[in-house]
């Protein structure tokens, strides 16, 4: 599959802080590669990050995956939420510990504002743990609502001191 006129480049944020964290990320990337309508183009480095929101929990591993998607934003959401369940994610508290979390960060320049789907991700500009790996892949991508590049947002994000490349 190629990034043709009907495919969109999207960026997915992956995070995990339970179990075999590196294995969880690898299994998620593998599952994305096998998903109909998606082609994994490239992945960022893995970063160890301080918890965000609920801070009394283990550190996370985070990364961003760039995909070519022939799925609509809604279909992509259904796909990634299904992958989370297949990989063993269980319901838990908001911002709490998780085996795997997959968020749609960007879907080209598309803006979606629905009850259960916000693209770009509603908190993207606040999350150093998502912006730093995203800036590795797409520093010049422009946030379609804020009109600022990902690199500029990453440089200004709070919490940068809690984001470290995995050794």
Q: Which of 21, 98, 127, 152 is catalytic?
A: 98
DSSP string, the chain: ----TT-EEEEEEEEE-SSSHHHHHHHHHHHHHTSTTEEEEEE---EEE--SSS-SSPPEEEEEEEEEE-S-HHHHHHHHHHHHHHTT-----TT---S-EEEEEEETT--EEETTEEES-TTGGG-HHHHHHHHHH-TTPBPTTT--BHHHHHHH-TTGGGEEE--
Q: Which of 89, 94, 113, 140 is catalytic?
A: 89
113 included as an active-site residue: no
98 included as an active-site residue: yes
Q: Which of 27, 103, 127, 152 is catalytic?
A: 103
Q: Which of 27, 101, 127, 152 is catalytic?
A: 101
Q: Residues with catalytic annotation? A: 89, 98, 101, 103
């Amino acid at each position: 599959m190629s990034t043709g006129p009907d495919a969109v480049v999207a960026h997915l944020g992956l995070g995990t802080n339970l179990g075999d964290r590196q294995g969880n990320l690898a299994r998620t990337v593998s599952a994305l590669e096998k998903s109909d309508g998606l082609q994994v183009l490239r992945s960022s480095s893995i970063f160890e990050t301080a918890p965000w929101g609920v801070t009394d929990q283990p550190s996370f591993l985070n990364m961003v995956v760039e995909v070519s998607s022939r799925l609509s934003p809604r279909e992509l959401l259904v796909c990634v939420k299904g992958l989370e369940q297949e990989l063993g994610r269980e319901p838990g508290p908001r911002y709490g510990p998780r085996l795997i979390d997959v968020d749609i960060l960007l879907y080209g320049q598309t803006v979606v504002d629905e009850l259960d789907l916000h693209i770009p991700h509603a908190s993207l500009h606040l999350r150093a743990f998502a912006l730093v790996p995203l800036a590795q892949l797409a520093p010049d991508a422009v946030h379609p609502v804020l009109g600022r590049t990902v690199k500029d947002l990453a440089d200004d994000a709070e919490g940068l001191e809690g984001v470290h490349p995995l050794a």
